[in-house]
Amino acid sequence: MTDENPFAPPTPRAAVPPANEPAVPAPGSAPEPAPEAAPAERPAETTSARSHQTQQLPAQPADRPTAQLPTTGYLTTLPAPSAAGAHEPGPHGSGSHAPGHDSPAGHPGTAHYGTAQPPRSRRGRLGTGTVSAVVLLGLLAGAAGGVGAYALLDSRSAARPADAALPQHAAGTTQVERPEGSVAAIAAAALPSVVSIEVRAPQGVATGSGMILKSEGYILTNNHVVAEAASGADVTVTFSDGHEQPAELVGATPDYDLAVIRVEETGLEPLVLGDSDDVVVGDAVLAVGSPLGLEATVTTGIVSALHRPVKAGESAEAAFIDAIQTDAAINPGNSGGPLVNSAGEVIGINSAIAQGPGTTTATGNIGLGFAIPSNQARHTAEQLIETGSATFPIIGVLLDPAYQGEGVQVSQEAQQGTPAVTPNGPADQAGIKPGDVILSVDGRPVSVADELIVAIRAKAPGDPVTLQVRSGKNEREVRVVLEERSSGQ
């Protein structure tokens, strides 16, 4: 392993059949004799026979009282016809019979809907006024019943429900305190400067977050969010007010997992990049972004650790981050969004989350999120805006990944034609030899290769660092001036 390795990261009401209407004798005329007893039901006639006959019903004697029909069955809503039982109009304008349901005698062609009904005896037709009276009577009876029920409840106070009137807010009497520095105040200030990013490529759609970096339309995000833009994928930015703008890639580096994109818009409100070196464990922070596509989401937490060596991505596209660890909820889609302190300043760019053992894909927050420190983000963003690319520092050695022991060992031999120590490189000039063990960087102990690489990447090219080196049994401090290397080299 080399310290030069890059980082990746509708029911109709059924018709009620009309009752048989008796013939009413003219005033003053003698009543006809009553007919002989007839069967309760006549055999059903065929449709053709009914079409040429007029059924004469016997007249009712004048001294015979008019039959009073019960309301039952006439104020009942029948089930709606099914699709199979629907009746189209017959040749005489009446509905056809439902299968298995004959019409009452003397009423050819009356359709029945719903379930089978028992045969009905002859009945006089119930007039509209009578029906209205019955309905009104029913309504009045219902109202009287309701009044009676309440009277009963009043007489039995123990059976009456409790008074459900709830206290109401008096307008203007309560004010929620949202002082400067509160979570609500910080969120209100930060949200207008945080955007949602969508990248459409042949492989699919990627989404993430970003923050406005400059008023001229520059936006900072993660490289892994917009990586496909380098191959011509379309990038769309959605702002907090909902409007969208296409964006173009300005520059990106997989080594730090950072990228800058730009929209053709001015007058934007940028967020301020704070000093990540001033961050301490326990500081309150807010993570802002679009987790799982839920735009303008804010979560809170604290800084739970510093200088976490985080490797994101695989192989040559891996990124090494000297990360700020936070328990503020970070989920897929938060990538590229800001981590904001209590002063409203950005102290990190949310980039990665930890997953449990055996998990190979990001499934959600477990309280371990990581952000690229703002100082690193500032330095890299400036390079990307100015040149379209970024550099990173190296010491010029190959590291042995198989080494077990204290510190990190420089490879003892060349790997794939690359020497263990780059001739005339920073390490060579400082006297570091193949097989030497590097124990610390500026007093910060290192025990695995990733820790050493992250510690070096946290610096800038040209910065001096002090390494604690052991050669055999001898230990010494050496001063190394870091060399610059461009992404892709």
Query: Exactly one of 290, 335, 351, 440 is catalytic; which is it?
Result: 335
Closest CA to 91 of 52, 125, 54: 52
Whether the CB-CB separation of 198 and 236 falls below 8 Å is answered with yes
- The bridge status of strand 218-221 relative to strand 258-263 is antiparallel
What's the pLDDT score for residue 188?
A: 96
Does residue 92 carry a catalytic annotation? Answer: no
Domains 181-389 and 391-486 share a fold: no
Question: pLDDT tens digits for 268-323?
Answer: 999 999 999 999 999 999 999 999 999 999 999 999 999 999 987 655 578 999 99
From residue 164, give the alpha-carbon distance in Å to each of 146, 152, 153, 161, 472.
Answer: 20, 19, 16, 8, 84
State which fold the 391-486 domain adopts. Answer: Pdz3 Domain (2.30.42)
pTM above the 0.85 mark?
no
**What number is the average pLDDT over the span 393-412?**
95
Rounded to whole angstroms, how far apart are CA atoms 371 and 349?
A: 5
Question: pLDDT tens digits for 333-375?
Answer: 999 999 999 999 999 999 999 987 777 676 788 999 999 999 9
Integer distance in angstroms from the first to the last C-alpha of the chain?
15
Rounded to whole angstroms, how far apart are CA atoms 329 and 301?
A: 7
pLDDT band at 181 (very low <50, low <70, confident <90, very high): confident
Residue 178 has pLDDT above 80, yes or no: yes
User: Which range, of 113-127, 186-200, 229-243, 427-441, averages the lowest pLDDT?
Assistant: 113-127
Does residue 428 carry a catalytic annotation? Answer: no
What's the pLDDT score for residue 467?
A: 97
Is residue 427 within a helix (H) or strand (E), and if so which, with residue range?
Answer: helix 426-429
CATH code assigned to 181-389: 2.40.10.120
SS3 for 381?
helix
Question: pLDDT tens digits for 205-256?
Answer: 999 999 999 999 999 999 999 999 999 999 999 999 999 999 999 999 999 9
From residue 289, give the alpha-carbon distance in Å to each of 163, 297, 334, 338.
Answer: 46, 5, 5, 7
Does residue 277 carry a catalytic annotation? Answer: no
Query: Exactly one of 257, 327, 400, 436 is catalytic; which is it?
Result: 257
428 burial type by CB count under 10 A (0-12 exposed, 13-18 middle, 19+ buried): middle
Whether the CB-CB separation of 315 and 8 falls below 8 Å is answered with yes
Residue 137 has pLDDT above 70, yes or no: no
What's the pLDDT score for residue 148?
A: 52
What's the pLDDT score for residue 347?
A: 98
Closest CA to 110 of 23, 24, 50: 50
* Residue ranges per structural domain of the chain: 44-111, 181-389, 391-486
Residue 86 has pLDDT above 80, yes or no: no
Is residue 377 within a helix (H) or strand (E), and if so which, with residue range?
Answer: helix 374-387
Conformation bin of residue 479: beta by default, left when phi > 0, alpha when psi is -120 to 50 = beta
Average pLDDT score over the chain: 77
* Cβ count near 21 (within 10 Å): 13
Closest CA to 51 of 100, 104, 93, 98: 93
List CB contacts of 432: < 8 A, sequence separation 6 or more: 395, 397, 410, 421, 438, 467, 469, 478, 480
Residues present in the chain in total: 489
SS3 for 189?
helix
Position 39, amino acid = P
Is residue 350 within a helix (H) or strand (E), and if so which, with residue range?
Answer: strand 346-353
Query: 24-33, 93-102, 257-266: which has the highest mean pLDDT?
Result: 257-266
Query: Which residues, listed in sequence order, are joined to residue 393 by a DSSP beta bridge?
Result: 484
- DSSP state, residue 4: T
Residue 382 has pLDDT above 80, yes or no: yes
Closest CA to 16 of 113, 136, 126, 115: 113
Question: pLDDT tens digits for 450-488?
Answer: 999 999 999 999 999 999 999 999 999 999 999 999 876
pLDDT band at 192 (very low <50, low <70, confident <90, very high): very high
